[in-house]
Chain A
């Protein structure tokens, strides 16, 4: 019995993944499978909604790290919205807010998709 699940929604061309429960090394493969499904279907505008995400470890963050380059190369982006403060803290500790669009609300994230804005990695 998994304590994590992913729900799918769509808003125009943006595919929204609703994360529920606890994301750790045991459940991260479920998030990875959901992302791979988006990419297989040619969907590169992905919004992660963390409203019901109660916990994340580095294994969960690792899924975003592993796919963001491929998604941006295809002209898309992966943005993250509505994280709980305790979950946002983990992203923040590792420096994710500089490299990923992390927005307080889903509406703001959708606006950024509509404007075509996305962060870029610092030059090497």
Chain B
């Protein structure tokens, strides 16, 4: 365990005990969605997650950031979106923070696809998709920040830590 901690501290300056953190800040435009997907993909791959779970995480973070851009910031560019990957022994977490308008998950109703099609409406499926893809999703508003956490449990979905960390 001492070895494991030393490994994490050496490899990752921001690492706390059994808990690794990577961060990325993007401005609030869709142009940067690709960057966010690559960021999450890189760290999910390094954590040993399966291709299927990596695809799910990429899509969920894309949908969450798209919602921040369109709804929290209402399309205003150059507002900050902070993305963090937190790797804990039993879970892989992607945390997204913004300083825009808060999302109200309590009053969210998952839309019905045929109804959307009849109304010729091409949206509204992002939150439903995120919930289907992730094991757990949490929303919080703390002061100026809104925060969503996209969580995959590692016992069910992949390997928790790089092999050398278990030495």
* Chain A residues with a Cβ under 8 A of chain B: 3, 22, 24-26, 55, 57-59, 61-70, 86, 89-90, 93-96, 99, 121-122, 124
A58 touches B126 (CB 8 A): yes
A67 to B117, CA, bound (A): 8
For chain B, the bracket of interface size reads 20 to 34
* Chain B residues with a Cβ under 8 A of chain A: 29-31, 33-34, 37, 51-52, 55, 58-59, 62-63, 66, 69-70, 113-114, 116-118, 120-123, 125-126, 128-129, 132-133
The smallest beta-carbon distance between B43 and chain A, in angstroms, is: 18
Q: Find B30's partner among A25, A55, A62, A63 (CB 8 Å cutoff).
A: A25
When distances are taken between beta carbons in the complex, the residues of chain A under 8 Å from B121 are 65-66
When distances are taken between beta carbons in the complex, the residues of chain A under 8 Å from B117 are 65, 68-69, 99, 121
When distances are taken between beta carbons in the complex, the residues of chain A under 8 Å from B118 are 69, 121, 124
B30 touches A66 (CB 8 A): no
B59 touches A63 (CB 8 A): no
A22 to B33, CA, bound (A): 11
Q: Find A66's partner among B55, B59, B120 (CB 8 Å cutoff).
A: B120
A25 touches B69 (CB 8 A): yes
Which residue on B lies nearest to A122, using beta carbons?
Answer: B114
Known contacts A24-B62, A58-B63, A99-B117: does B126 contact A86 (CB below 8 Å)?
Answer: no
B66 touches A93 (CB 8 A): no
A116 to B14, CA, bound (A): 60
B55 touches A86 (CB 8 A): yes
Known contacts A94-B113, A122-B114: does B69 contact A62 (CB below 8 Å)?
Answer: no
